[in-house]
Structure 1
Amino acid sequence: MNAEDPARKGQRRFAPGTHRSHRARKRKSLTIFFVTVVIVAVVIGAGLLYESPPEPLPATAAAPAGKPSERTAALAPLNLPADDAPHGSAMEWWYYNGILGAKTGDRYAFHMVVFVANGLIKHTVVHAALTDLQTGKRYASQTRTAGIPATSVVNGYDFRHEKWQATASPSSHVLRAAFDGASIAFDLGTSGRVVAHAAPGSDTPGILDFGKSGISYYYSRPRLPAQGSITVGGKSLQVSGDVWFDHQWGEFDVLTLGWNWFALHLADGSDLMLYQLFDMDRRNVMTAGTLSNAKGAVPFKAGEVELVPGSTWTSPKTGIPYVVEWKIKLPSGDLNVKPFVADSEFDSSGTSANVYWEGAVKATGSIEGQGFLELSGYDRLSARQAKGK
């Protein structure tokens, strides 16, 4: 890991990567394709969150005296389990992560996500990674296909493509993925709480307003009980643990913002979701999140949480620096977050024209925990700085 001098934190720069020319040409082509998909989808679907037939939207709720009306109040409220199913919106994804343990004491971290972009052109992308936390060895794979390789499921979904599967119903979830030299096969239950996330000060849970970047529905199931098998190097192990599930969809533009996103299981049984949005001028747009437990979920108020960047890790493959260590200042105390394996970059330039960091992390401080950190948009920051030179 490349640790920065703490005295220079306020002077951090996102140095450009050293990409080879063929990689740059390939990424440029894919970026044009992906941007076209998103732009067409947003234009076609602007203002609509359901493909056909759209439900009539209620009138905007009256705001308390002195408080402006929310755009989100005019949208249909979150409706589960029906909203587990695909919506036909411009952008949608179903995301899973977890740190699972075997009886031997060995532990493995994984994430798997299905992206669907809708418009005149439709395509589906699947990303997955598996990390052996004993050795630090990481397996990653991805696929992209035109259209949507899914069959209709009442209150759920069933995506299948080649050796990939992500299936969900009100009673269970099934995940299957194959890598070069490894595979995962997990069955997940649906017990546990559902958390509808809300922006600071918002009265509409489950819907986030990103301003000029659009509006997104967003909820989580932080602790789906999972069991199954992991195969690494020809050896199969039975594993189990809790898996974090996220579902997000709407008419929003993923290319105008970057984010630092945390999903943490804490030792007292509570769950922390936290995100910091930033624009391509590195300005902080929003810091928000939710702390949930068996008694309920409470979104953080504006200014109640602070994220302090720490050390960076620079990818030897792309030259992109990522802030992989953080201090999270909560009302209840500080958390120090560090990665299990710093080398957790996911190069998806071949499927979604971007590069991001996604890896398992551990938390110490006022309370212990573990979970996942996602760093997105750093590749665009690097490219922008390279153009400015």
Structure 2
Amino acid sequence: MVETNNRRLPVGIQSFEKIRKEGYLYVDKTDIIWQLANTDKTYNYLSRPRRFGKSVLVDTLEAYFTGKKELFEGLKIMEMEKEWVKRPVIRLDMSQAGARPETVRSYLDNAFHTLETEYGIVVRQDSSLAVRFKNIIEGAYNETGQQVAILIDEYDSPLQHSWKTPQHEACTSIYREVFAILKADDKYEKFVFITGITKFTQISLFSVLNNLSNISFEPEYAAICGITKEELLRDFKPEINKLAEYEGWTFDEAVAQLTAYYDGYHFSRRNMVDVFNPFSLINALADSDLKNYWASSGATSLLPKFVDDMDIRLKDFDNCALLSTIIETSDVTGGGSELFLYQSGYLTIKGYMNGTYLLGIPNFEVKQALSEIVLPTLAMRKSNDIQSTQA
């Protein structure tokens, strides 16, 4: 019997500190994280699909910038970082902000109040959210003497969920008001990092921050989220052996099955390293079972908002072309259904030729989700739409 009882896999855990302090297995990406944190580009944006490890990445960056050296003992970053400067960190998780303007304002009001208390900032009663954000950035700098790191996780969550509702424009206007401050206060900022799934270019993060660097397609960051085959074989051998034993497979057969189910993502045409969906892979290894973890986690819930205009045939998903200008720079609300399918993880880069990306379904898990969950849902709604127009 393969012994894996003393190994702890971080199923559903997004706290880097918890992973490190409580002995969960951590796939070491701190060399790439150090490179990102020390780039000469102040403003950085990373798009990756849902459940792909963006929040753990943000949490690791927060631990780095707050100088928690003890959490990184034994990791690659220890060979690279010599100073461990403790900086003030402003972190916002917009997935907690709801999808209505009042919930977005309430979330920011609460987050700003916590930061104002931390840095001893006196707030005037009539201060707008934008003024408060500006005062927090400058106050944190003045209090500590260090430039600030600003981390905004899942920036697009309220915009995705409010899209095609009367609340969307009001949510967008809050973003324009508040986040325009980032550019105005650049001298106080060391590093600004924004994660998301989809790109809404009409908000200030993209229209005002014209120097925002989209690192989503950069070759050096192709594997910053997710797990590569090399990392799977290096870090998860006991769990692979356990799965093989349960199913009556050899080790190599177990790897081949995991690859077919959960691998196949590519995020850079200049670095086509295969990347596994980390949420699905870790769940499968923890359960010693191959199931559709990603779709059942709610990863399909937003699809009908963005693909209601397409001819729904599975073969069209698995062989489509998209111009590089659309996939790299376009707004999800105007880029067509293929753009949303790529950004949300249903399609991935399969090749590149003459300014055009070739896209396809990454793996069996996604194909199964599309055929068994997504397409029937869309077809049912399309049928209902037809019936309602005929009624």
| TM-score, scaled relative to structure 1 | 0.23
Higher-strand-fraction structure? 1
Higher helix share: 2
> Larger Rg: 1 or 2?
2
Q: TM-score, normalised by structure 2?
A: 0.23
